[in-house]
């Protein structure tokens, strides 16, 4: 029996396009995964660096993000801000943010003090959360922002005691008339306030990119096999 391959123009063009597209997208995902792997290495290295002491000098947020920091000062207890839609272990809740005046300077920095659950009966009812009085030492991780959730329309204007979806540090500085460091600190040091400080670890998504790359390579391979098999079947007929 003679086995022959029947070539047809349109299916061949479609197969080539699908194979080429799959390879291009797989290579792009691989490249993105490599970039994210380098970023993850940098994040891990920053976490191992010595604790950085924040003072009266304005910092570069890109240079210190994910660094462990320590600062001394006092909370502005009249300026709590509550970030809504911040679930923890599937429970709806808020992040409590408060400005913190750095000792011996006119600079302030936003401190993400921790998480607490939402009142199921009244979303706007906030529990009494103790605020440390006087000068205290805070330790935590520097972040450029606290992360954003989906929001329709303009950002909420920060006000004392406001419930907002997202918060921009520059916008907060304008609303509060405070000179702010361009970073936010996720507090990690202990405090007797009942807040949970189990902050989500920043994920770079390396494994997700590699999984997508595998899927695109697999699509290209399947398109090639399908093209060859159907070509021989048409040849037999």
Residue 236 clears pLDDT 60, i.e. is over it: no
- Which residues are CB-neighbours of 56 under 8 A, at least 6 positions away? 102, 104, 105, 106, 107
DSSP E strand stretches across 188-233? none
Pairwise CA distance, residues 96 & 82, whole Å: 5
How high is the pLDDT of residue 91? Answer: 95
**In whole angstroms, what is the distance from residue 23 CA to residue 21 CA?**
5
Lowest model confidence (mean pLDDT) among 25-29, 121-125, 127-131, 154-158 = 154-158
Among the residue ranges 2-16, 60-74, 83-97, 107-121, the one predicted with the least confidence is: 2-16
Q: Measured between alpha carbons, how far is 127 from 195 in angstroms, rounded to an integer?
A: 11
Question: What mean pLDDT is predicted for residues 40-55?
Answer: 80
Rounded Cα distance between 107 and 72, Å, is: 11
**pTM of the shown model:** 0.72
The per-residue pLDDT for 225 is 85
Give 187-228 pLDDT, tens digit per residue: 999 999 999 999 987 665 677 878 888 898 888 888 888 878
User: Residues 140-174: pLDDT tens digits?
Assistant: 999 988 887 766 556 667 889 999 999 999 999 99
How many residues are given for the chain? 237
Burial of 86 (0-12, 13-18, 19+ CB in 10 A): buried
Q: What pLDDT score does 204 carry? A: 59
Give, for 145, the enclosing helix (H) or strand (E). none
pLDDT at residue 56 tops 60: yes
As given in the structure block, the two tokens for residue 181 are 């460091």
Q: Examine the pLDDT at 1 and tell me if it is beyond 60.
A: no
């Amino acid at each position: 029996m003679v086995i022959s391959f029947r070539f047809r123009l349109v299916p061949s063009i479609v197969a080539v396009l699908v194979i080429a597209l799959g390879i291009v997208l797989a290579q792009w995902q691989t490249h993105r995964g490599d970039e994210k792997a380098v970023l993850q290495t940098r994040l891990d290295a920053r976490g191992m660096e010595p604790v950085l002491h924040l003072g009266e000098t304005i910092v570069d947020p890109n240079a210190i993000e994910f660094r462990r920091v320590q600062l001394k000062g006092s909370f502005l207890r009249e300026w709590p801000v509550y970030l809504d839609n911040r679930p923890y272990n599937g429970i709806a809740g808020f992040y409590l943010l408060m400005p913190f005046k750095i000792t011996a300077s006119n600079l302030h920095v936003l401190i993400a003090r921790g998480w607490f659950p939402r009142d199921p009966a009244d979303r706007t009812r906030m529990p009494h959360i103790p605020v440390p009085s006087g000068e205290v030492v805070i330790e935590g991780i520097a972040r450029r922002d606290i992360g954003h959730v989906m929001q329709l329309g303009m950002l909420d204007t920060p006000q004392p005691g406001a419930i907002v979806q997202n918060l921009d540090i520059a916008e907060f500085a304008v609303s509060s008339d405070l000179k702010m460091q361009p970073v936010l600190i996720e507090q990690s040091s202990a405090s007797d306030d009942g807040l949970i400080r189990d902050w989500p670890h920043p994920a770079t998504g390396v494994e997700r990119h590699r999984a997508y790359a595998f899927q695109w390579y697999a699509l290209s391979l399947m398109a090639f096999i399908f093209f060859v098999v159907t070509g021989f079947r048409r040849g037999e007929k």
